[in-house]
Amino acid sequence: MVLFSLVASHTSLDLETVARLSAGAAAVSAELCAGNNPVAGLVSLTTCNRYELYVQAISGEDVEAARSTAIEAISRHSGLAETQVSQALATLQGDAVVRHLFAVSTGLDSAVVGEREIAGQVRRALGSAQELGVTTPSLVRLFQSAAKTAKEVGAQTALGRRGMSIVSVALDLAADLQDAIAPSAGVSPNAIAPASSLAGKSAVLFGTGAYAGAAMAQLMQRGCTDISVYSSSGRAEAFVASRGGTALDEHSLPSALAQASLLVGCSGSGQQITHADLAQLRHADSQQLTVIDLALTHDFDSDVAALPGVDLLTLETVRQAAPAEQESTLAQASAMVAEATRNFEQARNARSLDHAIVALRRHTMSVLDDELAKVRKQHGCNAATAEVEFAMRRMVKQLLHVPTVRAKELAAAGDSESYLAALDVLYGLKLSPEIIGSALNSKAENDGGPVTSDDSLTETATDTDSGTGTATATEAIA
């Protein structure tokens, strides 16, 4: 298994660049796995402030070629130059891939640290890749382990206990702005807005995806019941049928915008509400309007903030306003992520010598079968011969026990090379990564689909001691 990831997020890039990189993310994934290239599988994680590709290359020697292939595809679909894409996407390899995904899934790497929405987005990213048929067993294990880690961190630490998310922080800020204009009775304009502070407000929600669903739920929790939903793709009716609210179309949208006190953008459809769109709907007596743009590809032109009585909140605003978690909580969560990373790596290493164990067993059993054939030829198939065969097989099994245990110990310790060298010196079994990778590719072509070292283990061993030339052994390990 050779995994690497390409990462672009709010921590190192402006969100405009992240948005452009993620344009056509689905098409990039489909193209990479459909083509004849070194990419064995991938999972694409796209959120409001990150675009990440988790890729499995066919072999270690193919990592750079697989990365270049991914960069080219992203460049074509984003319209950015390959050099710009390459510089924008950080490349992670080894345990850094695991550690980063685990940190992301737990919310440690989020704009609002500890937010819970990202864990669901990680799960959905895997589900989408599985539906497309572009995953591998290694990627599935990685993402399932990330989901498990997020669940454990959420259950065993105070991280995220306040239930903060990008949506909740944005709506809290909107409530503060609304109360600053018309304070609730007995509530200071500087006080943190209570959950009911949006009661009586009229909201228009753009989008019908999972993010929009979270925004709808948060609006209702804050007492906002006059919610209209617009979808440029025409899915508003289905959305409100299960969640409530009023569906809008392009004809009823202007009227709803003119009456709203809150606009929430979660669609990222590429169709923007512009300064001119809102200007023609507002007049001197228009109420205070708060615009929340949570889409990576903005739903609102930034110029709307220049209109009188209009406030614009963006993802960057939310990031800066997000409350900090306590240092002790962050340290505890980070320690759990580090431990989960070590456990995952040890389990992965423990499987790295499975092919060598199979080769040793096949080699040994082949020698045994040759010797037993000589015994049968000389003494015939009788009770005495059967007893000899039973004893010899039991002896070989016992002789293989220690080498098998040592293989697993060395693999877990990350010292596979020592074991492979020992097989070469003691038995003349040469198991190079190139030979194994070539065999895997050959089997993939014959079977009509991608095969990884986790699906089946194929070894090509050269027995130099017995003089039998090259023997190919293929054996699946459950």
Active-site amino acid positions? 48
**What gap in Å lies between CA 455 and CA 139, rounded to an integer?**
12
Beta strands in 128-275 (DSSP E): 202-206, 226-230, 246-248, 262-265
| Cβ(284)–Cβ(247) below 8 Å | no
The conformational region for residue 187 under phi > 0 = left, psi -120 to 50 = alpha, else beta, is beta
For 134, phi then psi, to 5°, come to -115, 10
Which among 198, 262, 199, 271 is positioned nearest to 228, based on CA atoms? 262
Non-local (6+) Cβ contacts of 80 within 8 A are 20, 21, 74, 88
**What gap in Å lies between CA 451 and CA 201, rounded to an integer?**
55
**What gap in Å lies between CA 96 and CA 102, rounded to an integer?**
10
Measured CA to CA in angstroms, residue 57 lies from 84, 285, 453 at distances of 23, 61, 11
**What gap in Å lies between CA 95 and CA 274, rounded to an integer?**
45
Non-local (6+) Cβ contacts of 261 within 8 A are 178, 201, 202, 203, 287, 288, 289, 290
Identify residue 452 by its one-letter amino acid code: T
Which among 117, 48, 88, 25 is positioned nearest to 316, based on CA atoms? 48
Identify residue 449 by its one-letter amino acid code: G
For 471, phi then psi, to 5°, come to -120, 135
The 8 Å CB, 24+ separation contacts for 364-368 are: 364/396, 364/399, 364/400, 365/396, 366/471, 367/466, 368/392, 368/393, 368/396
